[in-house]
Structure 1
Amino acid sequence: MIRLDEKRSLPWQALAWALPIVRERAATVIGVVFLSCIGSAAALLPPYLTQRLVDEGIVGGKVDLVLQLCVAFLALMLAGVVVETVSRLAYLKLSAHVLFGLREEVYRHLQTLAPTYYARTRGGEILSRLDGDVAEVQRFAIDAPMALLNGAFSLVVAMALMLSLSPMLTAVVFALVPLQVAALMFTRPWLERSTQDLRRQSAAMSSFFVESLRAMKFIQATNAAKRQEAGLRAHHGDYFAALRRSQLASLGAGGMQRILSGFGVLLVFAVGGSMAAEGGMSVGVVVAFIAYTTRAAGPLQTLAGVFMGWQRAKVSLKRIQELAAERPTVTSPSHPVALAEPMRGELRLDAVRFGYGDQIVLDGASLEVAAGSKIALVGASGAGKSTLIDLLQRHYDPVAGRLLFDGVQLDLLDLVELRRRVVVVDQDPVLMPGSIRDNLRFVAPDADEAALQRALMLAGLAKYAHGDGLAKPVGASASALSRGERLRIALARAILQDPAVLILDETTSGLDLPVAQEIIAAVDRVFAGRTRIVITHNLASVGQLDRIVELRGGSLVEHVPVRAAAPLLRAV
């Protein structure tokens, strides 16, 4: 679960959110910081050696010192390359670990949210937060502390070396620091607004691609390709405008810092050069100071970069905070009740009331479903049949009334156990990318080959149960399979799950009657003695029934089945 405290300041929130993951790599963090400081120290030595090279070696006429200092320069360069390589690889491992950990935490939270969240939120918006925003927070959480430590270390070392050369020139250089801070504060609102707008436009374009690719067949069939291209061009225009504003903000902030840093170099030239011309300072000191002024600007630029990263991270953290504010509608109880074995599959709805906002779908619905019975649930489109199924799998809890499984209230059961015992096969089953074997093992990861083959044969897919059939790719969006084959694979998955209650949600809708009857006959053979609920608009396809129940006006109303056996359940 994502834990973000709205009362805590956003930068510290980013650090606090990443801290548990960073702790797992504490040794790597220490190593990266240590190597970074060594690299910075090594980078600050050349100007100091340059001063000795000019004043003592070249001007002083000491050839041996010149050669020694050249060797020292070479050693520093080689050591710098080695240190930088090791540091970069360690940092890469650390940042990837933190990024993946944060993203997994957000994804874990997304898996707890109700279907209504995904119904009202565009897919591209979720992707944008899961990818771009999490990465931005990770960059700030890792880069900012390290940049601050490294920048502070470099600044202290540079200042110490500069003071040892010339306290007066040091004061000239650092007199510009207040101006640099003021420039950062001036550009802050601009950076924040432009980043927010860019994130918004990026999410809109991601949503366009997700929704368009999903509907490509419809776009082709309705000759809407040109209109979609025009829509993409409009998104590109909006994104480019936002990108340009963001770049201008970054360039403006960075440009002001570079101008002030350049002005510092000019001051060193003017003051130090004048003193050297008058004999009050050696040429080597001036040369070294010019180099140090440039290097001192590096840590200051780093600190400015941290400030700009803070603005970007703040926007991203707010967007993740909005996602984190979405609370799961249901959770497993801390001490779930264990169901008695063997499970019977008896269901009961007791005066259940549920709705979406002001729209009431179920209003005092009551029903008793005897263990092992088969009922048909009918009703007009939009009457709430799928909502009833969502309640039975506990994607939602009713606002009033109770739902019971084998006499135990659903909210007292472990969610994983409940959803393993109540399985739904709907009219458009979801197949994951990969092979038929991958899709069967998605619900039963420990099933052996024999169990997979048996499930396919029982579901009427014997042609895929032998040879290379299990390795057949299902294709993008399961396009390599017919609808009947997709339904049978979903049925095979249900067989592997071994539920006490099987729900067929318009499973055979749109199929030819003989094919629909064949699938239902397979269900009745395999799940004989299990509780079966068949949601349908075509009673001719569902075979022998124990009861027909209609959902109408928020209530469940009993009907006499066409080929009824002795009534096994009672609707109230």
Structure 2
Amino acid sequence: MTRLEDDYDGTRPLRTIARIYRPQRWHLLAAALAFVVKHSPVFLMPALTARVVDVVVDHRPLRELWISAAIMAVVIAQNLPVSTIYGRQLSLAVRHTETTLRMGLTQRLQELSIGYHRRTSAGVLQAKIVRDVENVVEASRSAYDAGLAAVVTLVGAMVLTGINVPEFLPVFALAVPASAALIFTTRRGMNQRNASFRAEVEQMSARVSEMTHLIPVTRAHALESRELDRMNGTLTRVRQAGIRLDVLNTRFGALSWTMFQLLSVVCLVGAAWVAWTGFFPVSAGDVVMLSSYFVTLIASVTGLVGLVPIVTKGLESVRSMGDVLGANDVEQNHGKRRIDHVDGAITFDHVTYLYDEPGGDTVLALDDLTLDVRAGETVAFVGPSGSGKSTVLNTVIGFLTPWSGRVLVDGTDLAGVDLRSYRTHLAVVPQESILFEGSVRDNVTYGVDVPDDAVLAALHDANALEFVEQMGGLDAVIGERGSRLSGGQRQRLAIARALVRDPRILVLDEATSALDTTSERLVQEALGRLMKGRTTFVVAHRLSTIQGADRIVVMEHGRVVEVGGHVELVQRGGTYARMHSA
């Protein structure tokens, strides 16, 4: 099956759009045929009107008048049913493509590394999935409508003009090159303005996302005015970029309208002069027909030219989506070995990892880490900030790939493993529990299919059953990000989620650091049940929470400086003992 990124070419956005719409070509063809029929009054009515005028001017038989009237009625009446067919076929093509774009972007985001997501604002990514796809859909729909209208009108007008007054064909042929030249000369400036405006809107999306997350901190410290000033600066830049773009669009529209109206006047006066002088045979009806055709054609071409801002915005959005579709920081799992069973033995074999900083420098996060963790063993990592503790956990999860060395699971190098299959045997309880708006059941069973009895058992073992029952049971809604719950309650739901997965490997990242004493006790009890019989990696600043670990690994500057049990390390009088006494 072709993936969206396979069709993407950021340097050729038009080709990219054509490839994306390829699966919908039959719907687009049916829409085009329906459009020709429904749009036929535009190019047939001037010719029929010319016949009516000639009947009056030349005093032809009234029978011709009634025939023309009947044909007009049929041509007009067909528009309603055929327009419905056109609208449905075009909608099927556009809406399917819209869903494909959003699903493709979402799928790519799920494949990109955690490092990519840490570097990229969630607000910016949201703008790409929502606003950029909307721009592409709007541009393609508008271009299809106006493009077909211009082409059908041009072809119909030229065919009927060629039949009735072939001498005027060159006049119509001049309008298309003139509009093409106008589009070509102004497109570059509009591309630049659209790119600038899109960048400012993405920054605004990121700032809004940041602001909403900071509202509790902002209100708690009376920083509303400062936050409003920051937001005002962002909105001001968006406004200025929007004004520049709007002015350019208005100037462009006025220029095209003026030019085409002048051409329309020239056509009308020229046709009237030819008919008056008898330069070649042109009837009064032909003058009316030619004038109507040219006005209609000019209106279509003007509408087509007026689409340039919309189409340019759509093409810019295609390029914008390339930030996701063209990103190379992808977790590669295709073709790698799947793991169906995990005992839980983890080996760090001379693991070194360096972080890339924005300026191009690198920071050593892990320096030749060598450590064997037995299946079912609990290992705690302690040390100052920046010592490499979180990097160790990220290599265990598979979020980070060592620059050198290996991480082995039951003797198998993670570099050759399909990490998705490996992670089905792993559970993570972070410092900030990640919950979503939904019921307790939805949050606890996220990603697994288990009966309610198992969910209730997990909630009991996680010390969460009591407050869940008080809320209304498994169907109780916890609010956005668990807003109806306290920090300790959110952590206990996260532990219940880990319990129902029955993982072999457990990662606890500061799972109790943000809790009060009572909540910490309840969470520690729940964690004790969760850790039993599982390989567990623990990072904690509170040394009291890891004293029961089988081994404690003390880290400094990415290196292991001490390993041992709590009592052993305290008696040794080294780094851990100093941390414990402090």
Question: Do these two structures clear the TM 0.5 threshold for a shared fold by scoring above it?
Answer: yes
Q: 1:85 to 1:49 in 2, by over 3 A?
A: same
Once the two structures are TM-superposed, the CA of residue 413 in structure 1 deviates from its matched residue by 1.9
Find the counterpart in structure 1 of residue 207 from structure 2: 208
Find the counterpart in structure 2 of residue 275 from structure 1: 274
* Equivalent residues in 2 for 1:114-133, closer than 5 Å: 114-133=113-132
* Equivalent residues in 2 for 1:507-518, closer than 5 Å: 507-518=511-522
Q: 1: CA distance between counterparts of 2:101 and 2:338?
A: 33
Once the two structures are TM-superposed, the CA of residue 58 in structure 1 deviates from its matched residue by 6.6
* 1:539 partnered with 2:560: no
* 1:457 partnered with 2:478: no
* Equivalent residues in 2 for 1:324-343, closer than 5 Å: 324-339=325-340, 341=341, 343=342
Q: 2: CA distance between counterparts of 1:177 and 1:26?
A: 26
Output one character per residue of 1:425-459: Cα deviation in whole Å (capped at 9) or x when no partner: 01101101222122123232x22222222221121
Q: 2: CA distance between counterparts of 1:196 and 1:536?
A: 45
Q: Which amino acid aligns with 2:525?
A: A
Find the counterpart in structure 1 of residue 243 from structure 2: 244
Q: Which amino acid aligns with 1:10?
A: P
Q: 2: CA distance between counterparts of 1:187 and 1:196?
A: 15
Find the counterpart in structure 1 of residue 359 from structure 2: none
- 1:14 corresponds, among 14, 17, 38, to 17
Comparing 270-279 with 346-355, greater Cα deviation is found at: 270-279
Q: 1:281 to 1:330 in 2, by over 3 A?
A: closer
Q: 1: CA distance between counterparts of 2:293 and 2:338?
A: 70
Once the two structures are TM-superposed, the CA of residue 329 in structure 1 deviates from its matched residue by 4.7
Once the two structures are TM-superposed, the CA of residue 241 in structure 1 deviates from its matched residue by 2.1
Once the two structures are TM-superposed, the CA of residue 49 in structure 1 deviates from its matched residue by 0.8
Q: Which amino acid aligns with 2:18?
A: L
Q: 1:338 to 1:120 in 2, by over 3 A?
A: closer
- 2:529 corresponds, among 519, 522, 525, to 525
Once the two structures are TM-superposed, the CA of residue 127 in structure 1 deviates from its matched residue by 2.3
Q: Which amino acid aligns with 2:464?
A: L
Q: What is the DSSP-based 3-state SS (H/G/I as helix, E as strand, rest coil) of the residue aligned with 1:381?
A: coil
Once the two structures are TM-superposed, the CA of residue 86 in structure 1 deviates from its matched residue by 2.5
Q: 1:510 to 1:237 in 2, by over 3 A?
A: closer
Find the counterpart in structure 2 of residue 111 from structure 1: 110
Q: 1:301 to 1:325 in 2, by over 3 A?
A: same
8 Å contact 2:495–2:530 — kept in the other structure? Answer: no
Q: Which amino acid aligns with 1:430?
A: I
Output one character per residue of 1:91-147: Cα deviation in whole Å (capped at 9) or x when no partner: 123211101101211121112222222222223322222223233344555665675
Once the two structures are TM-superposed, the CA of residue 298 in structure 1 deviates from its matched residue by 4.3
Find the counterpart in structure 2 of residue 443 from structure 1: 447
Q: 2: CA distance between counterparts of 1:476 and 1:47?
A: 60
Find the counterpart in structure 2 of residue 570 from structure 1: none
Structure 1 gap segments, 5+ residues each? 566-572
8 Å contact 1:456–1:464 — kept in the other structure? Answer: no
Q: 1:177 to 1:150 in 2, by over 3 A?
A: closer
Once the two structures are TM-superposed, the CA of residue 294 in structure 1 deviates from its matched residue by 1.9
Once the two structures are TM-superposed, the CA of residue 230 in structure 1 deviates from its matched residue by 2.9
8 Å contact 1:51–1:284 — kept in the other structure? Answer: yes
Find the counterpart in structure 1 of residue 572 from structure 2: none
Once the two structures are TM-superposed, the CA of residue 407 in structure 1 deviates from its matched residue by 1.3
Q: 1: CA distance between counterparts of 2:80 and 2:38?
A: 9
Q: What is the DSSP-based 3-state SS (H/G/I as helix, E as strand, rest coil) of the residue aligned with 1:447?
A: coil
Q: 2: CA distance between counterparts of 1:507 and 1:431?
A: 15
Find the counterpart in structure 1 of residue 294 from structure 2: 293
8 Å contact 1:440–1:452 — kept in the other structure? Answer: yes
Once the two structures are TM-superposed, the CA of residue 281 in structure 1 deviates from its matched residue by 2.8
Find the counterpart in structure 2 of residue 3 from structure 1: 6
Q: 2: CA distance between counterparts of 1:105 and 1:220?
A: 38
Q: 2: CA distance between counterparts of 1:235 and 1:274?
A: 59
Q: Which amino acid aligns with 1:338?
A: I
8 Å contact 2:376–2:535 — kept in the other structure? Answer: yes
Find the counterpart in structure 2 of residue 408 from structure 1: 412
Q: What is the DSSP-based 3-state SS (H/G/I as helix, E as strand, rest coil) of the residue aligned with 2:474?
A: helix
Once the two structures are TM-superposed, the CA of residue 66 in structure 1 deviates from its matched residue by 3.1
Q: 1:512 to 1:49 in 2, by over 3 A?
A: same
Q: 2: CA distance between counterparts of 1:542 and 1:234?
A: 47
* 1:27 partnered with 2:23: no
Q: What is the DSSP-based 3-state SS (H/G/I as helix, E as strand, rest coil) of the residue aligned with 2:407?
A: strand
Comparing 65-74 with 221-230, greater Cα deviation is found at: 65-74
Output one character per residue of 1:231-272: Cα deviation in whole Å (capped at 9) or x when no partner: 333333322222222222223333332222212221122122
Q: 2: CA distance between counterparts of 1:465 and 1:240?
A: 48
Q: What is the DSSP-based 3-state SS (H/G/I as helix, E as strand, rest coil) of the residue aligned with 1:557?
A: strand
Find the counterpart in structure 2 of residue 90 from structure 1: 89
Q: 1:177 to 1:331 in 2, by over 3 A?
A: closer
Q: 1:518 to 1:227 in 2, by over 3 A?
A: closer
8 Å contact 2:393–2:537 — kept in the other structure? Answer: no
Q: 1:232 to 1:562 in 2, by over 3 A?
A: closer
Once the two structures are TM-superposed, the CA of residue 420 in structure 1 deviates from its matched residue by 1.7
Output the aligned Cα RMSD.
Answer: 2.6
- 1:417 corresponds, among 421, 435, 447, to 421
* Equivalent residues in 2 for 1:124-143, closer than 5 Å: 124-140=123-139
Q: Which amino acid aligns with 1:324?
A: L
Q: 1: CA distance between counterparts of 2:496 and 2:462?
A: 5
Find the counterpart in structure 1 of residue 562 from structure 2: 558
Q: 1: CA distance between counterparts of 2:309 and 2:161?
A: 28
Comparing 257-266 with 307-316, greater Cα deviation is found at: 307-316
Q: 1:82 to 1:333 in 2, by over 3 A?
A: closer
Q: 1:461 to 1:72 in 2, by over 3 A?
A: same
Q: 2: CA distance between counterparts of 1:225 and 1:138?
A: 38
8 Å contact 1:333–1:413 — kept in the other structure? Answer: no
* 1:318 partnered with 2:319: yes
8 Å contact 2:433–2:491 — kept in the other structure? Answer: yes
- 1:387 corresponds, among 383, 391, 395, to 391
Q: Structure 1 length normalisation: TM-score?
A: 0.90
8 Å contact 2:39–2:149 — kept in the other structure? Answer: yes
* Equivalent residues in 2 for 1:54-65, closer than 5 Å: 54-56=53-55, 59-60=58-59, 62-65=61-64
Q: Which amino acid aligns with 1:244?
A: I
Q: 2: CA distance between counterparts of 1:175 and 1:325?
A: 41
Comparing 119-128 with 104-113, greater Cα deviation is found at: 119-128
Once the two structures are TM-superposed, the CA of residue 495 in structure 1 deviates from its matched residue by 0.8
* Count of matched residue pairs: 558
8 Å contact 2:509–2:538 — kept in the other structure? Answer: yes
Find the counterpart in structure 2 of residue 506 from structure 1: 510
Q: 2: CA distance between counterparts of 1:562 and 1:95?
A: 63
Comparing 413-422 with 61-70, greater Cα deviation is found at: 61-70
Q: Which amino acid aligns with 2:370?
A: S
* 1:352 partnered with 2:356: no
Once the two structures are TM-superposed, the CA of residue 8 in structure 1 deviates from its matched residue by 5.8
* 1:235 partnered with 2:217: no
8 Å contact 2:338–2:421 — kept in the other structure? Answer: no
Once the two structures are TM-superposed, the CA of residue 489 in structure 1 deviates from its matched residue by 0.6
Q: 2: CA distance between counterparts of 1:320 and 1:130?
A: 8
Find the counterpart in structure 2 of residue 470 from structure 1: 474
Q: 2: CA distance between counterparts of 1:306 and 1:470?
A: 52
Q: Which amino acid aligns with 1:451?
A: A
Q: What is the DSSP-based 3-state SS (H/G/I as helix, E as strand, rest coil) of the residue aligned with 1:155?
A: helix
Q: What is the DSSP-based 3-state SS (H/G/I as helix, E as strand, rest coil) of the residue aligned with 2:41?
A: helix
Q: Which amino acid aligns with 1:9?
A: R
Q: What is the DSSP-based 3-state SS (H/G/I as helix, E as strand, rest coil) of the residue aligned with 1:247?
A: helix
Once the two structures are TM-superposed, the CA of residue 62 in structure 1 deviates from its matched residue by 4.0
8 Å contact 1:58–1:66 — kept in the other structure? Answer: no
8 Å contact 2:10–2:322 — kept in the other structure? Answer: no
Q: Structure 2 length normalisation: TM-score?
A: 0.89
* Equivalent residues in 2 for 1:30-49, closer than 5 Å: 30-49=29-48
What fraction of aligned residue pairs are identical, expressed as a percent? 25
Once the two structures are TM-superposed, the CA of residue 511 in structure 1 deviates from its matched residue by 2.1
Q: 1: CA distance between counterparts of 2:505 and 2:175?
A: 75
